[in-house]
Amino acid sequence: MIFLYFPAIPTACVQRPNTTLPNQGAIPDLTWLHVTHVCRRWRSISLGCPIIWTSISFKPPCSTPRFLERARQAPLDIDVDWKRDGSRHYIDDVVALALEHLSHTRLVRLSNPPAGFVERMVAAFGQQGADLLEHLHLSNVEEQKITLGASISTIELPDRLFARPTSRLRRLIMNGRFRITWRSQLFASHLTHLCLAISDSASVPTMDELLSCLRACPLEVLLLHGCLPRHATQTPVVPLPDGHPFVDIPTLRVIRLSDLAVNVANLLRRLHIPADCRVELGNQHEPHSASAATTEALATEVDHVLSRSSYASQDLSLQVMQYRPYNCTWTLSKLKTESSGSSGDASGYLIGPRSFTLTLESQMRPTTFEEHIRNTNTFSGALIRISPLYHLGSVRILSIQALNPLLITRESWVVLLRELRRLEIIQVSGHCSYTFGLAFALLAPDQQIAPYLRQIDIRHAHFGYPLGPSGLSIQLENAFHMRNEVGALRPNVEFWNCRISPAQLFQVETALGGRVLVTGDPETWGVGDNANDADLEG
């Protein structure tokens, strides 16, 4: 039957694991199949198939009773977003009508309910059992951000939200302003997906409450944002005593934790994570807290994740990306030898899905010069501290992008390059290109440095910067000359979106002993853009 192939909510979207936080990666709306005329036989067949009508429509409201009637006792999907589906009270009554059918509802997804509807929603939940409910998604973001009207208050959910235990509930997603205790019947022992981004501080669990829940549930996806047990921000995360029990979650496929760095580390170190689990850690740093506590928390996280044996024996790709001055992301991926589920790299390598992503972000945007310096020192110190923990001896591809010239110094590059014994491909973008040139030239006479290096990509760099003998062009010339003298492997070299004069390019190619591929229009991220920088073109 054709209707079964064109549901309002595609089966693939409903069944696939929700591996994003509730406010990210939303599935785009798909249109309904609009039928204007049907024959009697078609009408008879469609009315005789309740499953066609189970994705309840609230637009227009007059269609909702028809859907409920025609679905009969088939499991329902109640999915409504007041921002998406109408003005604030346009659909309240028909949504309340749909909620009277919780006894045969499989999915409830309620987003941005108006303040006047919340009491009706909680009452409807409490008066019925939800014996078939498998997926509960409640979202209550700041109302002033999405529509006109007064700010909505926090929704308080009772511990006994439904009349009977929800024995089939597998996926619980809550996003926004909710108040809930960890004694709630929702935190039952059968959850496979737990995704919480709750802004109410009173809902933050104790460590014992959270670990008790994690220990009991066969979780496959765990996403916690801003609601981790609290740890003193000025106090470093000290090692756990020998023999301290870990919480084992053998079914876990995806874990994403986002909070202050010390809170993330304090929870993560208590969990035993499967070797093939994808790990994403979002660490926030308070501007006035101790940088050392944040840095050591990051080191605890990296050491805990990478202690899994599968990383030490793998060929790896490491990316260190600074997309904004107030954040930095480390991404570790395993390199694949086959193309199944992998993305191809221009070098011919196949990069597998991200295995481990760690982000450090300043909780407040720096506004003064002193705050910028303090931020820079925090990020630079974190890079020096944790980058050597990334099994650099197994890294084949390294990509580093920096918007801040002080993120990675020459000395930091020297430490990294000495450890990257199997490095084959290096990609540097932006301000880190200049310190890379200095370190690369310094280490060029050493035959033990990057003996397998076969590809160098430099992007968004000005080859006349800095002025004088430290300029990037001169440093690369010196490095290529010295590597040729010691018989090092000659790499392929590409410059992307760089500013380089014909004379500089000729000198680099002469030192290299081969051609350099130059691609794209110059975009050097501010270097050389001012009139005072005209000398850089020399």
On whether the CB atoms of residues 387 and 416 are closer than 8 A, the answer is: yes
pLDDT band, residue 9 (cuts 50/70/90): very low
Q: Which residues of 363-385 are buried (b: 16+ CB within 10 A; e: fewer)?
A: eeebeeeebbebbbebbbebbbb
Q: Please write the tens of the pLDDT for every residue from 381-427.
A: 999 999 999 999 999 999 999 998 889 999 999 999 999 999 999 99
Looking at the chain, the whole-number percentage of residues with pLDDT higher than 70 is 86
On whether the CB atoms of residues 473 and 507 are closer than 8 A, the answer is: yes
How far CA 307 is from CA of 124, 186, 300, 301, in Å, comes to 48, 33, 11, 10
What is the structure's pLDDT at 87?
62
H or E element that contains 389 = none
Share in percent of the chain as helix, strand, coil (round to 5): 35, 20, 45
**Interval 268-294 mean pLDDT:** 91
What is the structure's pLDDT at 414?
97
What is the structure's pLDDT at 238?
83
Structure tokens at 219: 């979780």
Question: Which residues pair with residue 327 across a beta bridge?
Answer: 361
User: What is the DSSP code (8-state) at residue 243?
Assistant: T
Asked whether residue 11 carries a pLDDT value surpassing 50, the answer given is no
Question: Which residues pair with residue 362 across a beta bridge?
Answer: 285
H or E element that contains 18 = none
What is the structure's pLDDT at 31?
56
What is the structure's pLDDT at 372?
82
**Beta-carbon-side half-sphere exposure of residue 98 (alpha carbons within 13 Å):** 31
Task: Give the Cα separation of 439 and 415 in Å (integer).
Answer: 9
Question: Collapsing DSSP states into helix, strand and coil, what is residue 502?
Answer: helix
Asked whether residue 533 carries a pLDDT value surpassing 80, the answer given is no
Asked whether residue 34 carries a pLDDT value surpassing 80, the answer given is no
What is the structure's pLDDT at 412?
95
**Residue listed under structure tokens 């975009």:** 523
pLDDT band, residue 145 (cuts 50/70/90): very low
What is the structure's pLDDT at 422?
96
Q: Which of 443, 460, 418 is nearest to 322 (CA)?
A: 460
- Single-letter amino acid code for the residue at 457: D
Q: Which of 497, 446, 456, 501 is nearest to 476 (CA)?
A: 456
Q: Which of 449, 457, 416, 414 is nearest to 433 (CA)?
A: 457
How many CB atoms within 10 Å of residue 193? 21
What is the structure's pLDDT at 241?
87
User: What is the DSSP code (8-state) at residue 26?
Assistant: P
Question: Which residues pair with residue 278 across a beta bridge?
Answer: 254
User: What is the DSSP code (8-state) at residue 137?
Assistant: E
What is the structure's pLDDT at 309?
64
What is the structure's pLDDT at 83?
83
On whether the CB atoms of residues 477 and 511 are closer than 8 A, the answer is: yes
**Interval 460-477 mean pLDDT:** 95
Structure tokens at 109: 């997804």
Give me the helix-helix angle, 64-71 and 92-99, nearest 10°: 10
What is the structure's pLDDT at 469?
92
Task: Give the Cα separation of 9 and 54 in Å (integer).
Answer: 10
What is the structure's pLDDT at 37?
82
H or E element that contains 436 = helix 432-443
Backbone CA torsion sign across 440, 444, 449, 452: positive
**Interval 298-302 mean pLDDT:** 97
On whether the CB atoms of residues 259 and 284 are closer than 8 A, the answer is: yes
Task: Give the Cα separation of 206 and 208 in Å (integer).
Answer: 5
Q: Please write the tens of the pLDDT for every residue from 209-255.
A: 999 999 999 999 999 999 999 987 677 888 888 888 899 999 999 99
Asked whether residue 19 carries a pLDDT value surpassing 60, the answer given is no
Asked whether residue 262 carries a pLDDT value surpassing 60, the answer given is yes
Asked whether residue 359 carries a pLDDT value surpassing 50, the answer given is yes
Task: Give the Cα separation of 14 and 437 in Å (integer).
Answer: 50
**Interval 269-287 mean pLDDT:** 93
Task: Give the Cα separation of 457 and 429 in Å (integer).
Answer: 8
User: Which pTM was predicted?
Assistant: 0.88
Structure tokens at 204: 């933050």
On whether the CB atoms of residues 496 and 517 are closer than 8 A, the answer is: no
Residue 50 vs residue 89, higher pLDDT: 50
**Interval 299-305 mean pLDDT:** 95
Q: Please write the tens of the pLDDT for every residue from 83-116.
A: 877 666 789 999 999 999 999 999 999 998 988 8
Question: Which residues pair with residue 225 across a beta bridge?
Answer: 258
Any alpha helices (H) in 20-91, and if so which ranges? 40-47, 64-71, 82-85
Asked whether residue 296 carries a pLDDT value surpassing 80, the answer given is yes
Judging by beta carbons within 10 Å of its beta carbon (0-12, 13-18, 19+), is residue 329 exposed, middle or buried?
middle
Residue 435 vs residue 375, higher pLDDT: 435
**What mean pLDDT is reported for the chain?**
87
On whether the CB atoms of residues 221 and 194 are closer than 8 A, the answer is: yes
What is the structure's pLDDT at 32?
61
**Interval 306-334 mean pLDDT:** 89
